[in-house]
Structure 1
């Protein structure tokens, strides 16, 4: 692979970073890349194409090259399975065929990663480990494993594949030069489960931007909500096990509230049907996701944020969700399920807890919390003040040294 001279310093150390998504909506990965670029590294991101017509290579400034897969092979060895699509239920035979096609695409990625002669291979999450381990071995360079989840107890994990995933992740944890996770809970769980050294922690914290202003085209203007109405916001994937059906049902019992569900996912149609059946279409709104670079400005125009994540697995118990910290940076009071990691983060906030914590699965308590924030402006103001203080504490700038020191250790200075 040839990099144009005006695109990258040929002497700069190169990182092969692999993700199993389209990269553009992955806030964690983008923040890490920005930090590494400032530290003098050129990052090549190896990711997936959303559609067959999408570009395969993008040069985004002197420090970032985006490589998308699958690539044309002269014959249809991958089919539609190579591209990102809405999740579908497959039979076991269908899953095996799908995974075989994915492995073919991964080999394309391996060859491309080795070709850039990286100083390190950085794998984001379990589903990138097979090509990342291969590329690191063939290139003779260290591997950094960035585990975004506690994969051995995830509600969406295929049970029949879990033993294979466990062996794969255990091998990676023992052979990686360093391991990164988003929360202390996941670090402790991985260390205990696999008997390895505790990983480094890099939280899902946004960049602090004290100059950010609320979007002029706010949620009320976009959705036709009256200025006098209180707006609650859920932003993120419309996926199972996030308590969204409970949230819609609870919001239906709070007449003074307009609830916005901003995102996309498998539950969109089911949630739309539930909203219609409840007769709440005028005040419970579905809207598409916002681009990352505009998200927080729009988030700031809500009155509070909510995340009713279900206590359905240990991965949720240890979760450190992006949206929680986005709400804090937007200065929003929060309604959050009372889960161990979220409770630890919120109770440690410098000006006091900015959230109302509700018991997992308790729809009545969720409705009562929505009612309180809807009907009590003074309570919202107190929690908003605490949220702004928490945002200044939980910011990416507080973590950049951890990432750069880790890379200096792995790359030898």
Structure 2
């Protein structure tokens, strides 16, 4: 990633400042954190990303990216690996309770619901903790039930939920706690001059390390933390998360976030002394000037479509609450030559739901799933579409206030956009003139907006191309670098 002409950070004791970025993931697909790391490096810093490694994913250890950026992945304490007997005990509780019920009900002619097996308990334990936005529909959707005969009573749902829920809460609490503890130790060893905390689950280690080292930290809120979609009841966790964020965010040297509405919410709810700095998650610029988009894009090739079809692009995760079902409703109302091409991936369970929906509507020949491409290739891939649909359903506050990457990627692709009429999305569409917005609850207005931007594609393409010249990561990140300069120059910093 090449970033030039960025604001430069001041030296510390005659050397390049050390900046550590904390992120609670494996740093394999987090494009915002990647761009932030490269921005600090281009601004003259020595950069280290502190993430986690897992048994199944990116391995723990220290690696170095192009440009000299270090990535330290910390091992996590995984109860399934360190205490396998404890995990199996939780599942045995369910099995034994089921056996007791069987013995007590022999001879009964009353038919009961199918009882899940131990393997079902494991699959439900996994489903209980997955984020629905990541494509998981919960334990009842898209899964196969391997049950006993219907005459066998099931384990009481309350008992099973408590056992599984307790185990998973323990698992994820220990996992996060082990990361935070090891992150503090890592920071104390490396002794950064500035810590960049990505999201509220890294605030605590940033603050703890900062106290012992005299190191300031910047809090980058990618979303409203307490408004995330999470399955199950989490009253203690929610209170703890809210307590940490409300006490530690105001102590940060600066706060950044991703949309104007979240700026206002954080300023008000966290009682920050100053409004957070807006750093939208836009692509690195400049966007190339393309005279013939159809000759450079790849979406039609991936979908096997010719120039005689109209292509509406959907870009992003193929999962719930992204308006895909509503877009299919709108597609039914559009000219039969209009096709929907989805660039992204999702769970097999949700894909099965969509396939059934597509088949029921008779749209099998007009809906195409083409998988993923590297994130930096998305705008170029989209370029030969006729329009891009940006659909977000405001199920949570984060979704209502969202500014999805795909909006800016579509603008960088030079596409007309048809987008949900939500505050921050509508603001960008209106300011750029790149498209039209629609009522998310009305398939006809959605279809009308798509048809309108395709019909006047020249006007909207020109507007997108003009907006892409200034909507660049280099322009957005300057606000963050201003905060970093102020933090490093703060009197009595160390």
Q: TM-score scaled to structure 1, two decimals? A: 0.86
Report the counterpart of residue 17 of structure 1 in structure 2. 21
Q: 1:292 aligned to 2:365? A: no
1:311–1:360 CA contact under 8 A, matched in 2: no
Find the partner of 1:312 among 383, 391, 395: 395
The answer as to whether partners of 1:311 and 1:317 remain within 8 angstroms in 2 is yes
How many residue pairs end up in the alignment? 397
Q: Could you say what secondary structure the match of 2:81 adopts?
A: coil
The answer to whether structure 1 residue 97 and structure 2 residue 97 are counterparts is no
Runs of 5+ unmatched residues, structure 1: 1-9
Distance in 1 between residues matched to 2:208 and 2:407, nearest whole Å = 35
1:138–1:268 Cα change, 3 Å: farther
The corresponding residue for 1:403 is 480
Give 1:53 deviation, angstroms: 6.0
1:175 and 1:289, CA in 2 relative to 1: closer, same or farther beyond 3 A?
same
Query: Is 1:383 the equivalent of 2:460?
Result: yes
Q: 1:172 to 1:78 in 2, by over 3 A?
A: farther
Look up the match of 1:332.
415
Give how far 1:180 is off: 0.6
Alpha-carbon displacement from aligned partner over 1:50-99 (angstroms, at most 9, x marks no partner) = 653634322113431112232699x9338899xx9986668531431222
| 8 Å CA contact 2:297, 2:380 repeated in 1 | no
User: Deviation string for 1:285-308 (max 9, x for gaps)?
Assistant: 122221122222112122211111
Q: Distance in 1 between matches of 2:207 and 2:303?
A: 47
- In structure 2, runs of 5+ residues without a counterpart are 1-13, 88-125, 140-160
Partner of 1:4: none
Give 1:364-383 correspondences, 5 Å limit. 364-374=444-454, 376=455, 379-383=456-460
The answer (yes or no) to whether the contact 1:77–1:101 under 8 Å persists in 2 is: no
State the Cα distance separating 1:407 from its structure 2 match: 0.8
1-structure distance, mates of 2:83, 2:70: 24
> Cα offset for 1:364?
2.4
- 1:88-120 Cα distance to aligned partner (Å, 9 max, x none): 668531431222233223323332232211111
Q: How much does 1:226 deviate?
A: 1.9
Deviation at 1:311, TM superposition (A): 2.3
Residues 286 and 472, structure 2, Cα contact 8 Å, conserved in 1: no
Task: State how 1:351-362 maps to structure 2 within 5 Å.
Answer: 353-362=433-442
Per the alignment, in what secondary structure is the counterpart of residue 340 of structure 2?
strand
Between 327-336 and 255-264, the greater mean CA deviation after superposition: 255-264
Matches within 5 A, 1:243-254: 243-254=323-334
Q: CA deviation at 1:373?
A: 4.1
Aligned position for 2:64: 59
Shift of 1:134: 3.0
Identify if the C-alpha distance between structure 1 residues 53 and 326 changes in structure 2 by more than 3 Å, giving closer, same or farther. closer
Indicate the residue corresponding to 1:187 in structure 2. Answer: 263
Give the counterpart of 1:257 among 332, 338, 347: 338
Which protein is bigger by CA-based radius of gyration? 2
Give the SS at the match of 1:393: coil
Match runs of 1:230-241 below 5 Å: 230-241=310-321
Q: Which moved more, 1:19-28 or 1:157-166?
A: 157-166
1:359-402: CA deviation from partner (whole Å, max 9, x where unpaired): 1322222122233345x2xx112111111111123222223432
For residue 168 of structure 1, the aligned residue among 216, 229, 244 is 244
Q: What's the Cα RMSD here? A: 3.0
Change (3 A) 1:180 1:217: closer
Q: Deviations over 1:142-184 (max 9, x none)?
A: 1211001123434447663332221111012121111111122
Which among 282, 285, 290 is matched to residue 208 of structure 1? 285
